[in-house]
Structure 1
Amino acid sequence: MAPYGKRIAFHVPFRLGYAISGGGIRPGKMIAAFEELGYAVDVVSGDKANRMKGIDEIRQRLERGEEYAFCYAESSVLPTMLTEKGNKPFYPFVDFDFFRMLKKRGIKVGLFYRDIYWKFRYFMQDKPVYERWWRKFFYHLDFHYYTELLDVFFLPSMKLAYLLPENLKSRAFDLPAAHDMKEDVVRPAPKLREDLRFIYVGGVSNPVYNISPLIRMGEEFAVTVCTREGEWAQWKGFYGTLPKNVTVCHLHGDALKAAFKEHNVYAIVRTNHEYLNFAMPNKLYEAVGQNMPLLATGATSVGNFVAANDIGWVLDGDFSDFDPDRMITEFDAKVEHMQRIKAEHHWVMRARKVESLLS
């Protein structure tokens, strides 16, 4: 039997590791972080059958008198009731009944709400009205049960809190992504303009992820764009013939970490889009872990983070103020500032924040 307070429940209404980015990666990182803090982690995940199995095991432990410190959960990009095959509400109350059982036993439940994109105008614009209505109905139903059952509601950024119902705002806290680098990464400063090597990891779709300013930099500087293969196939025509110094790849995991070592500036390009203005991508924190200064666009959460911590350069949306000589001169200072904040943004620190709010 685990010592009192050193066992937690971990709930996600989807299969762990289902994707190679974002919501597919974060739960595994959080499980590892909680385990590093000394917790035994009982996971409820997968389809309905597997979630029921995990819930039954937790119920049996509780009936034997075992204690749980808290439950940490993460939402799906889909409404909770539509996560089964075919996106139909075949088993609507499995997950919320689980939270209700924990609440009745005095176990606090906190949930990380990974994405609130459905609140924005562009949500499912290419879908029929009835389909948008159907999806939004179940998102609102999620909020109804969150209000009833959650003790803490985590957001990627508190700038999104204005989109929440009033009765959830009071229990909302930010819980941005993190990195898992423990060793110190040596990041030598570029000495010449031609030594500057930029890497971008993310979407390329227009207008939400229009990286044209970065692509144009490939006329003079080495630029690597790492994106999903299918997305590039769909949008490469939009970018036309690429400049000679632009490389497109589709890396992830250890291969992507290896690519980081071959570059010295991480670019996060954001168009003036109301949703992306709030987004704090996972790769931002990976760059922090890699001691890689950032090139970001202004008037966004990313740009504000970079400027506030002095860990890179914030440019206009069209990169008209791009100054490579300044980047070379200031590079070592940016790396030094990044090393100062690195420990604050490790996955273990993220797990500690959850622990402090739920224990």
Structure 2
Amino acid sequence: MVRKLKEKELLYITFINIESPPDSGSAVRPLKMLQAFKELGVQVKVISGQTNRIQERKLAVKEAMDYLKLHSPDFCYIEPPSGPMFYSGDLNLIRLLHRQNIPTGLFYRDAYWMFPEYSFETKLSLIKWLKFIVIRAMQKHQLKIFTKCITVMYFPSKTMSGFFKLKRKELLPPGCFLADTYCKKAFNNPLHYIFVGGAAINHGTVLTLEAFTMANRKEIIATLTYVCPKEQWKRLGINVQNYRPWLTLVHTSGDENLKILYDKADVAILTAPRTTYRDFAAPIKLMEYLSYLKPILVTNCTETARIISENHIGWVVEENSQSICDKLLELADNPDEIHEIKKGIESAREKNLWIHRAEKVIYDLDNTVSSTLSTE
């Protein structure tokens, strides 16, 4: 790079309230990327505000416009909302960045709108279906603007990037942080697993409970702490008492609350059924598990399996309760398998830190003529 990083100026646009604790994976990523840019020494101008609060976005866009009258940042990086941008001024801001020839990267977070079968588990009412049609139209329109105005579009996985034909696209999967933890050498007896995420049929809740029930039929060989939002668990209508004594249900969030739960666990788990969308998703939760140095058991969703296999950080099984059960039984009989995974888990975390993701963005935007991903 021509100048040192500390002399670089970055306009960072996000659609969350950066002062509030993150309540989902989509809120975690913008905060981690912001922290990583600052750790690199880049001078960051932050524009934030929630997408569904129009007045908040109006003020945010005005702040950005005023900033651009007095400054010419080296780059701009955008962490958009999961859904569409509801305030048209945000799109005008992107057009302005394009007109001013400011290299701009945008992380294309989600494509739920392309796969309605994943978004909805029950038949929609007419009003909800019409709402979905409007949202999808907004997403298509905004994608056209991104295609014209964004210098580099980032995607969480290669599989997902293949759905989009763009001039310049790059991969920017989720990253790790250096959690204040240690690599356990002794295991619980029985082995203790942890899941942190959502509670829904398409999140694999039922699949996971079925597998643990089967594995513990004769004797308890695996216990599970299931961490999820309280409201989501209530909607499932599952009575946790039916799964005692091997299941512990916890409703909490935040690194300070999760740390003690992770430290107690031997293995983390993400066992969900395959869908088109889940095949190209790169769950941020995998990297959180890795941040806490947890070996990971997953089902064979394409990109999830790729992350596990390429980094040698766990095991991949078929997306059915019997396959998951078989692996639980195998690990109970052969805990040395966990030791083997742990040998390389710290180096895997080091290779996948958030700061490396931020470095890539700066490098890409500083070298916008470099090679692109194939659109095939």
The answer on 1:352 being equivalent to 2:355 is no
Partner of 1:233: 234
Amino acid at match of 2:342: V
SS at structure 1 position matched to 2:344: helix
| 1:131-210 equivalence runs, <5 A | 131-164=131-164, 166=165, 168=166, 170-181=167-178, 185-190=182-187, 194-209=189-204, 210=206
Partner of 1:88: none
SS at structure 1 position matched to 2:142: helix
Partner of 2:106: 111
The answer on 1:334 being equivalent to 2:341 is yes
The answer on 1:343 being equivalent to 2:340 is no
User: What per-residue deviation string (whole Å, max 9, x for no partner) do you get for residues 247-300 of structure 1?
Assistant: 010121111122100111000111122222222221210111111111111243
Whether contact under 8 Å (1:200, 1:225) holds in the other structure is yes
User: What per-residue deviation string (whole Å, max 9, x for no partner) do you get for residues 113-135 of structure 1?
Assistant: 11111111414552424322211
Q: Decide whether aligned partners of structure 1 residues 224 and 261 sit closer, same or farther in structure 2, where only a CA change above 3 A counts.
A: same
Whether contact under 8 Å (1:42, 1:54) holds in the other structure is no
The structural deviation recorded for 1:326 is 5.7
User: Larger deviation: 294-303 or 125-134?
Assistant: 125-134
Q: Decide whether aligned partners of structure 1 residues 161 and 62 sit closer, same or farther in structure 2, where only a CA change above 3 A counts.
A: closer
The structural deviation recorded for 1:199 is 0.2
Whether contact under 8 Å (1:71, 1:108) holds in the other structure is yes
- Number of equivalent positions: 342
Amino acid at match of 2:172: L
SS at structure 2 position matched to 1:321: helix
User: What per-residue deviation string (whole Å, max 9, x for no partner) do you get for residues 20-44 of structure 1?
Assistant: 1211121111111111111222122
The structural deviation recorded for 1:204 is 2.4
Partner of 2:124: 126
Whether contact under 8 Å (1:44, 1:51) holds in the other structure is no
Whether contact under 8 Å (1:189, 1:331) holds in the other structure is no
Same amino acid, percent of matched pairs: 25
User: What per-residue deviation string (whole Å, max 9, x for no partner) do you get for residues 121-166 of structure 1?
Assistant: 41455242432221111010111110111011111112112322x2
Whether contact under 8 Å (2:177, 2:353) holds in the other structure is yes
Amino acid at match of 1:357: D
Q: Decide whether aligned partners of structure 1 residues 244 and 184 sit closer, same or farther in structure 2, where only a CA change above 3 A counts.
A: closer
Whether contact under 8 Å (1:294, 1:306) holds in the other structure is yes
Q: Decide whether aligned partners of structure 1 residues 62 and 151 sit closer, same or farther in structure 2, where only a CA change above 3 A counts.
A: same
The structural deviation recorded for 1:237 is 2.6
Partner of 2:224: 223
Distance 1:339 1:4 in 2: 29
The answer on 1:251 being equivalent to 2:249 is no
Whether contact under 8 Å (1:14, 1:45) holds in the other structure is yes
Distance 2:253 2:174 in 1: 17
Stretches of structure 1 that go unaligned for 5 or more consecutive residues are 82-90
| 1:309-324 equivalence runs, <5 A | 309-317=311-319, 318=321, 319-322=324-327, 323-324=330-331
| 1:66-77 equivalence runs, <5 A | 66-77=71-82
Partner of 1:294: 296
Stretches of structure 2 that go unaligned for 5 or more consecutive residues are 367-376
Partner of 1:84: none
The structural deviation recorded for 1:77 is 1.8
SS at structure 1 position matched to 2:275: coil
Amino acid at match of 1:241: N
Indicate which of 23, 26, 30 corresponds to 1:27.
30
User: Larger deviation: 33-42 or 212-221?
Assistant: 212-221
Whether contact under 8 Å (1:215, 1:242) holds in the other structure is no
Distance 2:288 2:135 in 1: 32
Partner of 2:373: none
Q: What root-mean-square deviation, in Å, do the aligned CA atoms of Structure 1 and Structure 2 show?
A: 2.5
Distance 1:3 1:204 in 2: 42
Q: TM-score scaled to structure 1, two decimals?
A: 0.87
SS at structure 2 position matched to 1:272: coil
The structural deviation recorded for 1:185 is 1.9
Whether contact under 8 Å (1:7, 1:40) holds in the other structure is yes
Partner of 2:263: 261
The answer on 1:271 being equivalent to 2:295 is no
User: What per-residue deviation string (whole Å, max 9, x for no partner) do you get for residues 75-128 of structure 1?
Assistant: 2122113xxxxxxxxx42x11211222222221111111111111141455242
The structural deviation recorded for 1:207 is 4.0
Whether contact under 8 Å (1:70, 1:358) holds in the other structure is yes
SS at structure 2 position matched to 1:241: helix
Distance 2:242 2:181 in 1: 38
| 1:276-287 equivalence runs, <5 A | 276-287=278-289
The structural deviation recorded for 1:320 is 4.3
Distance 2:73 2:135 in 1: 34
Distance 2:111 2:286 in 1: 19
Distance 2:8 2:16 in 1: 25
User: Larger deviation: 216-225 or 12-21?
Assistant: 12-21
Q: TM-score scaled to structure 2, two decimals?
A: 0.83
Whether contact under 8 Å (1:212, 1:239) holds in the other structure is no
The structural deviation recorded for 1:50 is 3.8
